[in-house]
Amino acid sequence: MAGRRTAVLISGSGSNLQALIDACEAGRCAAEMALVVSNRADAFGLERARRHGIAAEVVDHRGFASREAFEAALDAVLRQAGIELVCLAGFMRVLTSGFVEAWRDRLLNIHPSLLPAFPGLDTHARALRAGSRVHGCTVHLVRPTLDDGPILVQGVVPVLADDAVASLAARVLEVEHRCYPLALDLVARGAVRIDGDRVTLPRDARTLVLHPELADHAFQP
Q: Residue 105: its pLDDT value, please?
A: 97
Is 206's pLDDT higher than 80? yes
In this prediction the pTM is: 0.96
CATH topology of domain 1-103: Rossmann fold (3.40.50)
Q: What is the pLDDT of residues 1-22, one digit of tens each?
A: 578 999 999 999 999 999 999 9
Of the listed 61, 111, 135, 177, which one is catalytic? 111
DSSP label of 146: T
* pLDDT confidence of residue 216: 81
93-135, pLDDT tens digit by residue?
A: 999 999 999 999 999 999 999 999 999 999 999 999 999 999 9
Distance CA 87, CA 69 (A): 20
Q: Name the pairing type of β-strands 31-38 and 134-141.
A: unpaired
> pLDDT band at residue 221, thresholds of 50, 70 and 90?
low
Given the DSSP bridges, would you call strands 134-141 and 107-111 parallel, antiparallel or unpaired? antiparallel
The amino acid at 159: V
The pLDDT score that the predictor gives to residue 67 is 96
In the predicted model, what is the mean pLDDT of residues 196-213? 93
d(CA 4, CA 99) in angstroms, rounded, equals 20
What dotted CATH number matches 110-221?
3.40.50.170
What's the CA gap between 26 and 133, in Å, rounded? 34
Higher-confidence residue of 144 and 1: namely 144
**pLDDT for the residue 34:** 98
Number of residues that this document lists for the chain:
221
* Distance separating alpha carbons of residues 57 and 77, to the nearest angstrom: 8
Residue 145 host element (H or E): none
Identify whether 140 is a catalytic site residue: no
85-99 pLDDT, tens digit per residue, is 999 999 999 999 999
Q: With residue 51 as reference, give the H or E element that holds it.
A: helix 44-51
Residues of the chain with CATH 3.40.50.170: 1-103, 110-221
Rounded Cα distance between 66 and 59, Å, is 13
What is the Cα–Cα distance from 105 to 77, expressed in whole angstroms?
A: 19
Tell me the three state secondary structure of residue 6. strand
